Amino acid sequence: MTNKREFNYKELRELLKDFDEVEINDLCAYLENLQHDKDKEKNFKCKWFSFLTPDFVAKLFKKANSDGLWIDGKHIVIENRGGKIGLSYNYIAYKNKLLNVYPEAKIDFDVVYKDDDFNFQKKDGKVFYSHKLNNPFSNKDSDLIGAYCVIKINTGEFLITLDRQEIDKIKSKAKTSKVWNEWFRDMCLKSAIKKLVSKHFNDIYTNIIEEDNQGSNIDNPIDIEEKIKTEIEAIETIEELNQYYKDNKSKIANTKSFIEMLSIRKKEIKDYDNEVINKYTDLINIKRPEEAEELIEKFIKLPISEKLEIFEQLKGE
């Protein structure tokens, strides 16, 4: 894939000139990492970086900033979810939002493993709880049995728990298993605080939850083997998806969920491909209007990997 991946940082800084310089520096450093980071095969990890424009990134930044937060590449990142690019917030971002509104808030959350002792009691509106880690240095994800979040502010105290069954259900609805597989504990913590604030502080989290929920799909089947789901999510073309179906249909017990999962991935692939075509069409009509029609016709027939490479080259012209 070509090394030419243009982005106008000067224009972005101009669009955001009225915001905090430290926050803008964090944003630009994060974007540069997305722009240049490569895998072992020397291919760019962020294949969709070419879709980012200064205007679009500025809009995302302002959206996060409206909640007193900013895109730092750690607690708030830009994600591509099946062709739709948006913001993703981790549990620290959720905590920081609450502290912006309630500086006095006491926030505690953790995961619970099978050997831990965990007890809680609520009396006269007050939350009392204890969590003893009996085996803190040898816990595995498979031993995790739940998560909890406690929030105490001047006007009330709140506690939410999630058992392992609820956690697995939330994970199964995610657009991608990759983040959950790599950061399982962190995603459990995020799920706990998200559940609590959705119930008790929904008025101040409306924008964040609406944006963050785009990473979930309530139609995603929850009774499909994790290995199969991960393999399907890694497929990038319709042809490969059809071949995967032929190779595996006789091995799958739950055929209905298998086909449903394939259908969801097929739609994501088509949506992503259409997005690339639309972006290319807009740009080619500006840069090469005299031959645009012919080039678009050829472009549509190419594999997605070649489309992305040609689009990046066109942006850099």
On whether residue 176 sits in a domain, the answer given is yes
Tell me: do 113 and 35 sit in the same domain: no
Tell me: do 13 and 49 sit in the same domain: yes
> The sheet that has 144-153: what strands, in order across it?
106-113, 144-153, 156-163
On whether residue 157 sits in a domain, the answer given is yes
On whether residue 165 sits in a domain, the answer given is yes
**pLDDT of 2:** 41
On whether residue 3 sits in a domain, the answer given is no
**pLDDT of 165:** 92
End position of a domain, from candidates 202, 218, 246: 202
Report whether pLDDT(224) > 50.
yes
**pLDDT of 134:** 92
End position of a domain, from candidates 133, 167, 202: 202
Tell me: do 70 and 133 sit in the same domain: no
**pLDDT of 218:** 41
**pLDDT of 56:** 94
On whether residue 164 sits in a domain, the answer given is yes
89 - beta bridge partners? 76
Share of the chain above pLDDT 90, in %: 56
Which tokens sit at 147?
């998560």
Report whether pLDDT(178) > 60.
yes
Which tokens sit at 155?
């006007």
**pLDDT of 83:** 67
Tell me: do 150 and 81 sit in the same domain: no
Tell me: do 174 and 273 sit in the same domain: no
* Least confident interval from 4-8, 76-80, 135-139, 255-259: 4-8
**pLDDT of 44:** 84
In angstroms, the CA 118 to CA 114 distance is 10
Burial string for 50-68 (b: 16+ CB within 10 Å, else e) reads bbbebeebbebbebbeebe
If you average pLDDT over every residue of the chain, what do you get?
88
Pairwise pLDDT comparison (29 vs 315), residue with the higher score = 29
* Closest C-alpha to 46, from 32, 29, 61: 32
Tell me: do 74 and 98 sit in the same domain: no
**pLDDT of 1:** 40
Tell me: do 62 and 44 sit in the same domain: yes
* Least confident interval from 91-100, 144-153, 201-210, 232-241: 232-241
Q: How many helices (H) and strands (E) does the chain have?
A: 13, 7
**pLDDT of 40:** 86
* Least confident interval from 167-181, 198-212, 221-235: 221-235
Interval 259-277: pLDDT, tens: 888 888 888 888 888 888 9
On whether residue 75 sits in a domain, the answer given is yes
Tally of structural domains, the chain? 3
* Closest C-alpha to 5, from 34, 27, 40: 34
**pLDDT of 234:** 81
Which whole number is the average pLDDT over 285-309? 90
Report whether pLDDT(220) > 60.
no
Tell me: do 68 and 168 sit in the same domain: no
Q: Residue 264 belongs to what H/E stretch?
A: helix 255-287
Tell me: do 164 and 231 sit in the same domain: no
Report whether pLDDT(257) > 90.
no
Tell me: do 252 and 296 sit in the same domain: yes
Report whether pLDDT(241) > 70.
yes
Interval 113-172: pLDDT, tens: 999 999 999 999 999 999 999 988 888 999 999 999 999 999 999 999 999 999 988 887
Tell me: do 123 and 158 sit in the same domain: yes
**pLDDT of 228:** 83
On whether residue 24 sits in a domain, the answer given is yes
Residue numbers of the domain that contains 36: 9-89
End position of a domain, from candidates 55, 89, 123: 89
On whether residue 221 sits in a domain, the answer given is no
Which whole number is the average pLDDT over 254-263? 84
Which whole number is the average pLDDT over 179-207? 93
In angstroms, the CA 236 to CA 7 distance is 25
∠ Cα 183 81 310 (to 5°): 120
* Least confident interval from 84-88, 90-94, 194-198, 214-218: 214-218
* Closest C-alpha to 132, from 152, 151, 110, 149: 110
Tell me: do 65 and 96 sit in the same domain: no
